[in-house]
Amino acid sequence: MHSMRNKFLYFFLACSLLLTGCWDQVQLNQTKLIKAGGFDYTKKGKVRTIAAIPQVQPGSREEGKEISQVFEATGNTARQSRHNLDRRIAERVDASKNLIIVLGKEAAKKDIYSILDVFYRDPKSALNAKLAVSSKKASDVVSMKFQEPNIATGNLGEYLYDLIASAEDASHVPEVSIQTICPVMFDPGQDFALPYFEPLEKELNVSGVALFHNHVFAGTIKGPKSILFNLLNATQSSKSISTTRKLPNAKGDGPAKSVTLIVKKAKRKLKVSVKPDNSVSAKIDLNLTISIGEFPSKHTTDKKGLKLVESQLNEVLTKEAGEIIKTLQGFNSDTFGIGRQLIAFHNDTWQAIDKKNYFKKVDFNTNVTVKIMNFGIIE
């Protein structure tokens, strides 16, 4: 028994001598990690790559303090501009830890897949990185000098990432990444939306969503409407979402004329129907369970006042939902995936209709119903 065990031991030891180590290694001291990147187009149509790389500031009073150095390079393609960027930096550039990619407005107005293609082909790409559109150039965001001193350091990528994550939690923008929009870009029956940055002098504002059609930036939905847009798209997970609306027939802009509602639960139903003449209609029912976060008005805790506020919110939000639908149809951005429904369940209709402009012709019936769960701690 012991001799058999020893034979196995010698056999495994002999095999271990034949095993080779992995030589595909990347030394961190020979690498520059990109934490935030961006893309613009030059006047000559070349791709400009912008990269923010954290580096330890030499001779700093604060030991280990990082600064964010911004490098730029141009090329005929995104890959070529990346190679040219490598030549401008002493160490090897590595984007495997990248947190966010920002597309300049003019770059987003062209097919963005031509820029993103390089990420999908590189096995080391950070596909979970956030993706956003700037109202100006991407360089205006990536090389921005912020008022907050800690942001002007090597934490730029983390700051931009957290800024979008915070907007996602508040339902101002959809939860998207480089990876999640890939299947949508290859889907002829669906479009997508990305977070929309508006860079100011020394601060950055996530003002809403950038709408796309066929991989091209088409328009925006900004302000409180972006919250309802995301609820209608059912892209948000169950989070506590706060938004303020002015009640109908309310004169002036005082606090008593508006109500802040906190969405506790949202349930959306989408039904697509077709007629024999291949005309398409879509019915969207959005049911919101809310609590009142702020409403300094009298007689709102009794049943009569409760029903009145619910009715007024139904009217306001249903009207706003209709305006959002008109905006989407104006930009021909099918973020609801109506085309996907037609491909899956009404393929004969899909084959017969105009696939470029089908979304503009969809007859929508949208209804938002609000149910007030409580008024906070007031009973």
pLDDT at 239: 66
The per-residue pLDDT for range 292-320, each reduced to its tens digit, is 888 776 655 667 777 888 899 999 999 99
The per-residue pLDDT for range 60-70, each reduced to its tens digit, is 555 556 677 88
pLDDT at 379: 47
pLDDT averaged over the chain?
85
pLDDT at 31 over 80: no
Predicted structure pTM score: 0.86
pLDDT at 133: 97
Half-sphere exposure of 296 (CA within 13 A, CB side): 4
**What confidence category does residue 33 fall into, taking pLDDT thresholds of 50, 70 and 90?**
confident
The per-residue pLDDT for range 312-371, each reduced to its tens digit, is 999 999 999 999 999 999 999 999 999 999 999 999 999 999 999 999 999 999 999 999
CA angle 20, 25, 27 (to 5 degrees): 140
pLDDT at 222 over 60: yes
pLDDT at 199: 87
pLDDT at 134 over 60: yes
CATH architecture of 224-379: 2-Layer Sandwich (3.30)
SS (H, E, C) 148-213: CCCCCCCCHHHHHHHHHHHHHHCCCCCCCCCCCCHHHHCCCCCCCEEEEEEECCCCEEEEEEEEEE
The domain limits of the chain are: 25-223, 224-379
pLDDT at 183: 94
Place of tokens 């080779």: 20
The residue among 154, 108, 155, 157 whose CA lies nearest residue 129 is: 157
**What confidence category does residue 137 fall into, taking pLDDT thresholds of 50, 70 and 90?**
very high
How many whole angstroms from its chain centre is CA 316? 26
Percent of the chain with pLDDT over 70: 80
CB-based contacts of 367, cutoff 8 Å, min separation 6: 283, 284, 285, 286, 318, 321
pLDDT at 250: 56
**What confidence category does residue 376 fall into, taking pLDDT thresholds of 50, 70 and 90?**
low
Percent of the chain with pLDDT over 90: 55
